[in-house]
Amino acid sequence: MNISIFGLGYVGCVGAACCARLGHHVIGNDISENRVNLINQGKPTIIETDIEELVRSAHDQGLLEATMDHRYAVHNSELSIIAVGTPISREGHLDLSYIYGVARQIGEALADKDEFHIIAIRSTVLPGTSVKVGEIIEEVSGKVRGEDFTVVSNPEFLREGTAVHDYMNPPFTLIGTDSEYAERKFRELYKDIPGEFIAADIEVAEIMKYVNNTYHGLKIAFTNEVGNICKALGIDSHKVMEIFCKDRQLNLSPYYFKPGFAYGGSCLPKDSKALRTLAHDLYVDVPVINAINPSNERQKKNAVDIIESKGQRRIGILGLSFKSGTDDLRCSPIIDVAEILLGKGYEIRIYDKNVRISQTAGINADFITAKLPHLYEIISDDLDTVCEESDVLVVTNKEKEFAEIPARYPHKCIVDLVRQFTELDYDGNYEGISWENININPAQQKKIVRTMIKAEF
């Protein structure tokens, strides 16, 4: 393929050298004459492991050149990659002026180019940037996005010092696009790169770099706080974390990484509280660990807010235990939600067959009577009755029997706390706690007649 890369700094230089290594012809573009001259002399614009040999080899094979002429770069390529800087302000806002400046240059070049052109944003940008870049190119070029060109997101996940290795051996390659043609071209571009090729919505790709790096920062801060606690106790923190990392079923795995309701149960709340208390007693400041419980409590409040927003008095809670397949009510987060709603005058009905069975058998009857006396009489094992007598159905556990709720009980409001459904065509109102609306039925837009007025203070 013929590729042009706008910006020959860190990301651009590595990308240009690696694309050439994959056998593509690359034209680098930069406003810096010095950078352009370096590439045309077969020299890299950065200091990085293995980059010098890659650039020299690409130059010697005639696969890598550079220019300050943006028209030449666009006219002699089918794909333009934007890899300019996005500096951040003191307040935390991105300066996208370099991105938009390149978009105008590409638009100028496309004004007199007939062939379809792909523009890929490799720089780290916030969701919505691709849309704005497309608008700028349309305005400057007079061309139409989707007909004459397309804009995609292709974020990089490179670490300084190992950037070449990371480029050639990624955990996955991510493309955000709404163009099948662009997806095919990127599959061709990266066909010799190992790892899964993922095509996603543009906004998903745009936010991934921020999610990744913020989580990496969270891991470092968490590990350092654990280390500080261990130091105060005279424990080898590296040995602790070495063992921690050996658990690839839970600790280092996709488990727990699905947005949804607050955590509960007998372990997570108790043990995290114990660790916070231990740090406090040792006079060790652990702001990250201390922030976990308030964040969890905030998610309970979010659930209450969503339920209240439906304006209906009769609430059916489907699942009272802290997770499916158990009758364990210890620290179940939905209990707090139910108690808040009861205190505000809502009519609550609860379905949980496991809890009801154990309650009848006397297994946890004492616990329920002592800790939850106001919920004792409203726990049922009759799903139909609870659903029929409720206007809002709150799904709190991923039980198989809840999968048919939309079909069996139309016109109701469903509040999904666990992503029970992946997509819906439901004639009632649906809302998930931490994901966008997945209901495609036009009835979703109908105004709800409120029976419970929430006072605003």
Which residues make Cβ contacts (< 8 Å) with residue 119, sequence separation at least 6? 79, 80, 82, 103, 106, 133, 137, 149, 150, 151, 152
DSSP state of 51: H
* Token code pair at residue 386: 């609870």
In single-letter form, the type of residue at position 266 comes to S
For residues 117 and 147, is the Cβ–Cβ distance under 8 A? no
Handedness of CA 254, 258, 264, 270 (dihedral sign): positive
Residue 192 has phi, psi (to 5 degrees) of -100, 10
* Token code pair at residue 188: 């061709």
For residues 3 and 79, is the Cβ–Cβ distance under 8 A? yes
- Using CA atoms, how far apart are residues 7 and 151, in angstroms rounded to an integer? 17
For residues 299 and 261, is the Cβ–Cβ distance under 8 A? yes
The secondary structure of 396-436 as a DSSP string is -S--GGGGGHHHHSTTSEEEESS---S-B--SSEEEESSS-
List, in sequence order, the alpha helices (H) in 114-267. Answer: 129-141, 163-168, 180-189, 202-233, 237-244
- Determine whether 331 is an active site residue: no
For residues 86 and 48, is the Cβ–Cβ distance under 8 A? no
Active-site annotation holder among 13, 19, 267, 331:
267
- Whole-number CA gyration radius for the chain: 28
- Using CA atoms, how far apart are residues 8 and 45, in angstroms rounded to an integer? 7
Neighbours of 454 (CB within 10 A): 11
Among 271, 272, 299, 300, CA closest to 286:
272
Please give the positions annotated as active site: 267
